[in-house]
Every structure is written in C-alpha cells, then in structure tokens.
C-alpha cells in the first residue's frame, strides 16, 4: 500500500513521527509520504526510524499558498537533496510569517473576549502552530462545541477573528518546488472554490506538474474526473489519505475514509520514472 499525504505533530497531526512510522507498519503501508505544513522536521525525524523499520519514506511538504485571493494547498515531492538548502531557507520565512500571524491572532481573539495566551496555543502546536491548534484550544476552553464551529465562528477566512498572514502566491511556491527539482502537485483539488477545468491551464503555465487525484475527500467519480484532467494536461498524478491522527479520526492511513482510498501500487515508480 502507498500513501503520499500524511501529517505528524511537526504540523497539525497528532501522531509523532515515530508513531506515524509504527502506524504505517500496522496499516501495511510500504511507501509513505510525510507532507507536513511548511516544514520538513517531521520527515527529518522519521527518516532513520523508517529505515530501521524497512519503510520507504518520501520527502514531501504541503504549502499554504494564495491563488486568486483564496488559500490553496500545494504539495511538493522528491526535492533534490542537493538543492534543499535554498528551499529550507525559503520555508524558514514562511514559518516566521506564521509565528507573526499567531501573535496577531491571539490579540484579535482576546479583543473578541476569548481568554487565551500564545503560550497555551503553542503548547498544543509542537513545531508548527496553526489555526487547527487555535481551534483545539477554543474547544477545550468551551468557547465552541466543535473544531468546525471554531473555524466557522472565529478562524475561517470569512469569520470575525480572521487575521491575514503573508502567504506566498501559488506561482511563487510552485517555482520554489520546481527549482529545487521537485514535483509540484495541487492538493485535494475538490477543495478549490473555482472551476478547476477552467483555471488549470493557468496553473500549468505557472509550472504545476501534478494533480492529487487520489484523496480521502474524493468520490470514485471525482477521482476519475481528476485522472482525466491530469491526462488531458500532461500532469503527473499523486495521492494519499491526508492522515492527521486523532483530529480527523475517520481518516485512516493508507485507506482513507471508510476504505475509499486506493493509491495504485506503481504510482511512485511512475513518478520517479517521469522526473
Ligand atoms: P493555518 O495554516 O495555520 O492558517 O491553518 C490552516 C489549516 O486550518 C488548514 O490546513 C485546515 O486544516 C484548517 N482550516 C482552514 N479553514 C478551515 C475551515 N473553514 N474549516 C475547517 N478547517 C479549516
Ligand atoms: Fe493539516
Ligand atoms: Fe491540505
Ligand atoms: Zn494535508
């Protein structure tokens, strides 16, 4: 089994890198991509453990970008080790912009009468504190009754607590991945708010070279549609569960939601061969 989309405690997952490597063994995943948001630290920590466990680990990352004013997630895979240095310097900037946003988000929520501190959020965030950790804290403190309500009432782009952060433009992020020798894949295309078929030519012009056709949020019909779009535009295909652990317990590593995910066994070979 293959799963090229997963998160650890280095971003907003609840499994540590070591626990994720164990879980891959239990689930029968033979090739695992770790794609933490804006950081490689989960991958770095998992690498020696995966080697020891006989698990093939794929180096990945999930970047938050801006496209036509909306947040769009972009996956990067197979970055060349010798060109990773510049890329790591660039993502250090993204991490700084996130920290700055978090300071302002705490201040904004306090204005709205929510009694939280930066330290409390960071304690839930591990390496990379993001809005999901704010949602978790709001839930724990009883300001909301679910993570989703935390987003709807406070944290979503359209909610009263939202504060902006400097996010790279989609094209800029694609270029950074491609310059590092990587494959740039549009994550969970089902979440794109625009007509994907209409905007795909523009994304391909920006250097996008893959589409995440297989994902836990896709129905079989949607997967078929994305496979056809990828073929039509000469894009490679990626896929994975988007496993986050206990915060999204309905999604299982390797098999997705209720077994709805099946990433073809030769997907990684095909990606490598086409690089
Ligand atoms: P951040 O990168 O810290 O701004 O947090 C972004 C993450 O928050 C995304 O990856 C999603 O997991 C989550 N998120 C953003 N908007 C929503 C929403 N409206 N409902 C649920 N989760 C959301
Ligand atoms: Fe996430
Ligand atoms: Fe995502
Ligand atoms: Zn993800």
Which residue's CA is the closest to the ligand 1 atom numbered 20? 151
Pairing verdict, β 2-3 and 210-215: unpaired
At residue 128, the pLDDT reads 85
Which atom belonging to ligand 1 lies closest to the Cα atom of 130? 3
Closest C-alpha to ligand 1, atom 19: 156
Give the residue-averaged pLDDT of 146-174: 95
The percentage of residues in the chain with a pLDDT greater than 90, rounded to a whole number, is: 93
- What confidence category does residue 82 fall into, taking pLDDT thresholds of 50, 70 and 90? confident
Q: Residue 143: what pLDDT?
A: 98
- Least distant ligand from the CA of 133: 1
Torsion of CA 146, 152, 155, 158, to 10 degrees: 170
Ligand 1 contact, 172 CB (< 6 A): no
225/83 Cα distance (integer angstroms): 34
- Ligand 2 centroid–CA 64 distance in Å is 10
The per-residue pLDDT of the chain, averaged, comes to 96
Is the pLDDT confidence value at 142 over 80?
A: yes
Residue 108, classed as helix, strand or coil, is helix
- Cα 54–59–61 angle (5° rounding)? 140
pLDDT above 80: residue 275: no
133 Cβ inside 6 Å of ligand 1: no
* C-alpha dihedral sign at 234, 264, 24, 147: positive
Q: What is the pLDDT of residue 6?
A: 98
Q: Whose CA is nearest to atom 16 of ligand 1?
A: 156
* Closest listed residue to residue 256, CA positions, set 241, 244, 245: 241
Q: Does the pTM of the predicted model rise above 0.85?
A: yes
Dist. CA 12 → ligand 1 center (Å) = 10
Lowest mean pLDDT among 109-113, 254-258, 269-273: 269-273
pLDDT of residue 87: 95
What gap in Å lies between CA 14 and CA 8, rounded to an integer? 6
Q: Which two tokens stand for residue 27?
A: 């689930």
Ligand with the closest atom to the CA of 35: 4
Instruction: Over range 54-82, report the average pLDDT.
Output: 95
| Tally of residues, the chain | 275
Which of 95, 100, 130, 166 should be mutated for ligand 1, with most atoms under 8 A from CB? 130
- Ligand 1 pocket test: pick from 146, 149, 155, 173 the residue with the most ligand atoms within 8 Å of its Cβ: 155
């Amino acid at each position: 089994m293959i799963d090229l989309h997963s998160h650890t405690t280095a971003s907003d997952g609840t499994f540590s890198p070591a626990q994720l490597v164990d879980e891959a063994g239990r689930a029968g995943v033979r090739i695992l991509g770790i794609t933490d948001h804006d950081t490689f630290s989960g991958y770095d920590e998992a690498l020696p453990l995966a080697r020891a466990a006989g698990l093939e680990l794929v180096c990945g990352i999930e970047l938050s970008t801006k496209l036509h004013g909306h947040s769009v997630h972009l996956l990067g895979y197979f970055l060349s080790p010798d060109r990773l240095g510049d890329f790591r310097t660039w993502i250090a900037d993204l991490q700084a912009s996130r920290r700055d946003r978090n300071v302002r988000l705490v201040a904004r929520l306090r204005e709205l009468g929510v009694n939280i501190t930066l330290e409390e959020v960071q304690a839930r965030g591990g390496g990379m504190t993001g809005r999901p950790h704010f949602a978790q804290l709001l839930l724990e403190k009883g300001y909301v009754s679910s993570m989703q309500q935390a987003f709807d009432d406070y944290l979503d782009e359209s909610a009263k607590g939202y504060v902006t952060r400097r996010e790279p433009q989609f094209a800029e992020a694609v270029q950074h991945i491609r310059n590092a020798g990587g494959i740039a894949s549009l994550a969970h295309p089902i979440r794109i708010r625009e007509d994907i078929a209409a905007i795909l030519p523009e994304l391909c012009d920006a250097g996008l070279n893959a589409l995440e056709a297989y994902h836990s949020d896709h129905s079989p019909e949607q997967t078929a549609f994305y496979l056809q779009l990828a073929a039509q535009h000469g894009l490679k295909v990626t896929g994975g569960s988007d496993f986050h652990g206990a915060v999204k317990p309905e999604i299982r590593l390797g098999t997705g939601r209720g077994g709805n995910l099946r990433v073809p066994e030769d997907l990684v070979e095909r990606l490598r061969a086409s690089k």
